[in-house]
Amino acid sequence: MVNPQSNPEEAVMTGAPSQPMKLATTSDDQIGLSYAEVLYLLAMGPGPAAERTRETLLLDGIDDAEKISLIGASALMARGLIAFTEDGESIGAVDQALYIRFVLTNATRWTAFQATDGGEGGDTGFFIESPRGQLLVQPRAFDTWWFVLLHPDAAASDVLAATALGWGDSAPEMAVFIRSRTMTVDRSFTIHVAAGSWSYAFGVTGAPEPEQRREDVSRADTEAAVKGFADSVGEAS
């Protein structure tokens, strides 16, 4: 997945410890978590946003989710990613886990990507936005998830376009499917690349016909259309 350059500035979030978390420009802004650990972080901030995130990441409907999340809590504590508060009365997320927990449980826009080269090659990823943080998320082997912590000020349309077109550039023939949702809007965008020619279509998810379809256009035209699509779904605020 594409990780735009993040600035080494501080991000302070609701519920953060007295020392603000600093987003690093190296490996500190990326981390892998098991699905059990993700379930626990979601459980730390229950509500409609957390439920939509759980659904988006295909973590809904898991049997014994509460028990599995406690296994995740043990792993997070062993890694120093959650800790007891000073009074010992509660547990809070720490460092990267704090940022991830905030975004997952306060998200306002969820975008899913699927890319395929028409054969066995393919990939999946997610872009999750909240008012004060953004994540690129990708499933990995052994039920793990890879998180890229983006700077809160990264332009969402740039992130979405760079991710989608990055996949479009990855093979001579490639199809990329994008579904972007808020709590009230659900829209989709499809890109097809073949022999250097780009085509795209977009509209309301599930509609019988797209609102617009363009064939044999340039990469730059497609990029502009993807950015316009991102804006049409609504800003995370």
Q: Which residue type is seen at 12? A: V
pLDDT above 70 covers a percentage of the chain that reads 85
pLDDT, mean of residues 130-135:
91
Q: Which helix (DSSP H) or strand (DSSP E) does residue 223 occupy? A: helix 219-233
How far the first Cα of the chain sits from its last, in Å, is 24
Q: What is the pTM of this model?
A: 0.81
Range 121-135 average pLDDT: 89
pLDDT, the chain, mean: 81
Higher pLDDT, 20 or 136: 136
Q: Are 180 and 160 in contact (CB under 8 A)?
A: yes
pLDDT interval class at 235 (50, 70, 90): low
State whether residue 127 is helix, strand or coil. strand
Q: What is the pLDDT of residue 189?
A: 95
Q: Which residue has the higher pLDDT, 200 or 63?
A: 200
Query: Is 50 exceeded by the pLDDT of residue 130?
Result: yes
Look at residue 1 and tell me whether its pLDDT is greater than 50. no
Which residues, in sequence order, are bridge partners of residue 84?
91
Which letter does DSSP use for residue 138 in this model? Answer: E
pLDDT for the residue numbered 121: 67
Query: 140 falls in which pLDDT band (50, 70, 90)?
Result: confident
Q: Is the pLDDT of residue 18 over 90?
A: no
Q: Which residue has the higher pLDDT, 2 or 123?
A: 123
What is the rounded CA–CA span in Å between residue 199 and residue 214? 6
pLDDT at 170 > cutoff 90: no
Confidence of residue 111 (pLDDT cuts 50, 70, 90): very high
The residue whose two tokens read 């996949």 is 167
**pLDDT value at 166 more than 70:** yes
